Amino acid sequence: METMNLESAAALTKKFTQKPSNEELLKLYGLYKQATLGDNDTERPGGFDFKAAAKYNAWENQKGKSKKEAEEEYIELVKNLSEKYI
Protein backbone atom coordinates (compact mmCIF):
# COMPACT_ATOMS: atom_id res chain seq x y z
CA MET A 1 0.00 0.00 0.00
CA GLU A 2 1.34 3.42 -0.94
CA THR A 3 2.08 6.04 1.67
CA MET A 4 -1.13 7.58 2.90
CA ASN A 5 -1.77 11.13 4.03
CA LEU A 6 -4.72 12.54 5.93
CA GLU A 7 -6.71 13.40 2.79
CA SER A 8 -6.21 10.02 1.14
CA ALA A 9 -7.09 8.26 4.39
CA ALA A 10 -10.28 10.33 4.71
CA ALA A 11 -11.13 9.52 1.07
CA LEU A 12 -10.59 5.82 1.76
CA THR A 13 -13.26 5.86 4.49
CA LYS A 14 -15.81 6.81 1.80
CA LYS A 15 -15.06 3.49 0.05
CA PHE A 16 -16.05 1.36 3.04
CA THR A 17 -18.76 -1.06 2.00
CA GLN A 18 -20.07 -1.38 5.55
CA LYS A 19 -20.51 1.29 8.18
CA PRO A 20 -18.00 1.07 11.03
CA SER A 21 -19.35 0.86 14.58
CA ASN A 22 -20.30 4.08 16.35
CA GLU A 23 -17.23 3.68 18.56
CA GLU A 24 -14.98 3.41 15.49
CA LEU A 25 -16.69 6.35 13.78
CA LEU A 26 -16.28 8.53 16.87
CA LYS A 27 -12.60 7.62 17.16
CA LEU A 28 -12.11 8.54 13.48
CA TYR A 29 -13.94 11.82 14.03
CA GLY A 30 -11.95 12.77 17.13
CA LEU A 31 -8.60 11.96 15.55
CA TYR A 32 -9.49 13.80 12.33
CA LYS A 33 -10.56 16.93 14.20
CA GLN A 34 -7.42 16.81 16.37
CA ALA A 35 -5.22 16.31 13.29
CA THR A 36 -6.79 19.21 11.40
CA LEU A 37 -7.69 21.70 14.14
CA GLY A 38 -5.75 20.70 17.26
CA ASP A 39 -7.24 20.82 20.75
CA ASN A 40 -10.99 21.34 20.99
CA ASP A 41 -11.78 24.87 22.13
CA THR A 42 -15.45 24.83 21.18
CA GLU A 43 -18.29 25.02 23.67
CA ARG A 44 -19.77 21.74 24.93
CA PRO A 45 -23.13 21.11 23.19
CA GLY A 46 -26.39 21.05 25.10
CA GLY A 47 -27.29 17.94 27.07
CA PHE A 48 -30.03 16.69 24.76
CA ASP A 49 -28.00 16.78 21.55
CA PHE A 50 -26.51 13.35 22.13
CA LYS A 51 -24.85 13.04 18.73
CA ALA A 52 -23.11 16.42 19.05
CA ALA A 53 -22.10 15.61 22.63
CA ALA A 54 -20.61 12.26 21.55
CA LYS A 55 -18.63 13.98 18.78
CA TYR A 56 -17.48 16.68 21.19
CA ASN A 57 -16.31 14.04 23.69
CA ALA A 58 -14.55 12.03 20.95
CA TRP A 59 -12.56 15.12 19.97
CA GLU A 60 -11.99 16.11 23.60
CA ASN A 61 -10.52 12.62 24.25
CA GLN A 62 -7.67 13.47 21.84
CA LYS A 63 -6.74 16.68 23.68
CA GLY A 64 -3.01 17.23 24.10
CA LYS A 65 -2.02 15.16 21.07
CA SER A 66 -0.03 16.97 18.43
CA LYS A 67 -1.68 17.32 15.03
CA LYS A 68 1.04 15.05 13.59
CA GLU A 69 0.46 12.37 16.23
CA ALA A 70 -3.32 12.50 15.69
CA GLU A 71 -2.82 12.31 11.91
CA GLU A 72 -0.59 9.23 12.24
CA GLU A 73 -3.12 7.51 14.53
CA TYR A 74 -5.98 8.43 12.17
CA ILE A 75 -4.16 6.95 9.17
CA GLU A 76 -3.31 3.78 11.11
CA LEU A 77 -6.95 3.41 12.22
CA VAL A 78 -8.21 3.89 8.65
CA LYS A 79 -5.79 1.23 7.39
CA ASN A 80 -7.01 -1.22 10.04
CA LEU A 81 -10.68 -0.45 9.38
CA SER A 82 -10.24 -0.72 5.61
CA GLU A 83 -9.18 -4.34 6.02
CA LYS A 84 -12.47 -4.93 7.82
CA TYR A 85 -14.87 -2.77 5.77
CA ILE A 86 -13.62 -2.80 2.16
> What does the domain layout of the chain look like in residue ranges?
6-85
> What pLDDT score was predicted for residue 18?
96
Asked if residues 12 and 73 have their Cβ atoms less than 8 Å apart, the reply is no
Intervals of the chain under pLDDT 50: 1
> What pLDDT score was predicted for residue 47?
78
> What pLDDT score was predicted for residue 2?
61
> What pLDDT score was predicted for residue 3?
86
How far is residue 34's CA from residue 86's CA, in Å, rounded to a whole number? 25
- CATH class name, domain 6-85: mainly alpha
> What pLDDT score was predicted for residue 71?
98
